[in-house]
Amino acid sequence: MVLGDLSAVRLLIVGDVMLDRYWFGEVSRISPEAPVPIVKIERSEERPGGAANVARNAAALGAQVVLLALVGNDEPGESLKRLMNEGDIDASLHIDEAITTTVKLRVIGRQQQLLRIDFETIPSHEVLRAKLSEFEQRLPECDAVVFSDYGKGGLTHISEMIGLARASGKIVLVDPKGEEYSKYVGATIITPNRGELRAVVGRWTDEAELERKANALRTELALQALLVTRSDEGMSLFYSGGTIHEKAVAREVFDVSGAGDTVIATLAVMLARGVDWASAIHVANVAAGIVVGKLGTAVVTRTELDAALG
């Protein structure tokens, strides 16, 4: 499959951003103070997380990307701005003096995650309103809108934003969070993972029951489609044309950190490019297969994707 030129694709990505920090080290002994490993840190890395990782993945495929989000007036917020500039992303990061930028710190030993420490606070109402105002101004400049909901409070006005985007004729993609999906009514597509969907619609015993439950939710939320990412079972798209299943690509390393970001970013680029559902899902699945073979939040380059698609 030939993807063609993606440089004309324009995406507006809105949501919760975070800074993913990685401390890598060696584990050679157990602490005498408690039954825990001692990690001697040898190097560290910083990577964009959440909606910032979605933006980075879309930009890596060649799309024009605008990111709209909130950060604190702090060093992690400055790091995110720098990383977005390095990724050629037009990042409008509103500063909220009342919060600290969300940081996820992961300690890695022997290529395995040993510990994750989260730092986060809920944003203030005034800054959220300012972001909504800029969202309205930015809408005409994009082909599709991606909402990356990590439940950190940055998408308090998502229902209003979806309404504005759909009224403007934009494709709207949502990576959902939590169990209250009514706020996503009217989106073009939502992309819950297996566990997230189960929390909303309940368990299923077979594929037929999954299809019934997924389509019932799709109808309830007035969605064109619903994509369920299913880890080792691949992904399934439920839409008016039926159901499409894509098998997972087997990998020696299997790290799902940020894989959902890669899926929705790739899907958004493809749909904004104008390809059909089946092709868009196939490309997104191939991209997911590449990124789970990398440690931590990562991106799929255009070169890697072209090679995988053959």
Catalytic residues: 261
Taking CA 279 as the corner, what is the angle to CA 276 and CA 284, rounded to the nearest 5 degrees?
Answer: 120
Q: Which token pair is 287?
A: 């991209």
Tell me if 58 sits within 8 A of 12, measured CB to CB. no
**CA–CA separation, 145 and 173 (whole Å):** 6
Strand 144-148 relative to strand 112-119, pairing? unpaired
3-state helix, strand, coil in the chain (%, to 5): 35, 30, 35
**CA–CA separation, 12 and 228 (whole Å):** 22
**CA–CA separation, 168 and 300 (whole Å):** 30
Q: Mention every residue, 6+ apart, whose C-beta is less than 8 A from residue 237.
A: 225, 226, 227, 228, 243, 244, 245, 246, 277, 281
